[in-house]
Structure 1
């Protein structure tokens, strides 16, 4: 079984994230969406709410699990017997950062990272921008997957 984790803060889970998961499901048997708990990051939604929102979004997809974790991503992957880490790449800067982390994860645990480039029409969308729009009371539904309920 090919199991991968797709780690991130997902605050909130955007159509870019949704696209990465959809594309990864074409070559993975199971994906665990891992919501990293990082006390140094100021988040808009509490961890529990992010877990619940994404679980509801994928309620009818048996190959998706959603879990929060508060350790190193590579350790979380090993604990879940995942052999792959999926990451989405929007920019060259993302690539450079992810390449370094992927090299370390491979050396630490033999876990391979698969980088999926964002679809061109989605490259401008980030959780950071969506949070800022939320802060100013703007409608963010065009940037979220259909069915993601941020008002739980």
Structure 2
């Protein structure tokens, strides 16, 4: 069975992420969305909330599984029985950084990285940008699934109220 890992923080998951998950799901028997637990970084959503949203928006993909992880990506891949990491690339700047990570990962454990260019519709979309636009009342419905848009609005209302 060919397994691939799509790692990230996904705070929140965007349509760009979903595009990569869906395309990867067509290429591999199983795609594991690895949600990074980064205790030094405070996200807008908890890891459990991110996992729930990703599970909901990927429920139509029979071969996508969502799992939290922390530590080295190569260790997570080994634990999951995955030999491939899928990384979406939006711009040359993404490639510069991700290439270094890919070379480190292959050196550490032989895990290969497949770079997948992002659909041009989402080439500028980043979770941080989506959060910033939503924070100021902008319409992000084009960039995130409806569930995510709703939860993002709810969370930002709660943050403003506190």
* TM-score normalised over the length of structure 2: 0.87
Kindly report which structure 2 residues correspond to 1:51-62, keeping only aligned pairs within 5 A, or say none. Answer: 51-62=51-62
Q: Is 1:41 aligned with 2:71?
A: no
| Corresponding residue for residue 68 of structure 1 | 68
Kindly report which structure 2 residues correspond to 1:19-30, keeping only aligned pairs within 5 A, or say none. Answer: 19-30=19-30
| Corresponding residue for residue 126 of structure 2 | 126
| Corresponding residue for residue 78 of structure 1 | 78
Q: Is 1:5 aligned with 2:28?
A: no
Gaps of 5+ in 1: none
**3-state DSSP of counterpart to 1:86:** strand
For the aligned residue pairs, the C-alpha RMSD in angstroms reads: 1.6
Gaps of 5+ in 2: 155-162
Structure 1 residue 39, shift from structure 2 partner? 2.0
* TM-score normalised over the length of structure 1: 0.92
User: Are the counterparts in 1 of residues 36 and 68 from structure 2 also a CA contact under 8 Å?
Assistant: yes
Q: Which has the larger radius of gyration?
A: 2
User: Are the counterparts in 1 of residues 15 and 122 from structure 2 also a CA contact under 8 Å?
Assistant: yes
User: Are the counterparts in 1 of residues 9 and 36 from structure 2 also a CA contact under 8 Å?
Assistant: yes
Q: Is 1:108 aligned with 2:119?
A: no
Q: Which has the higher helix share?
A: 2
**3-state DSSP of counterpart to 1:50:** helix
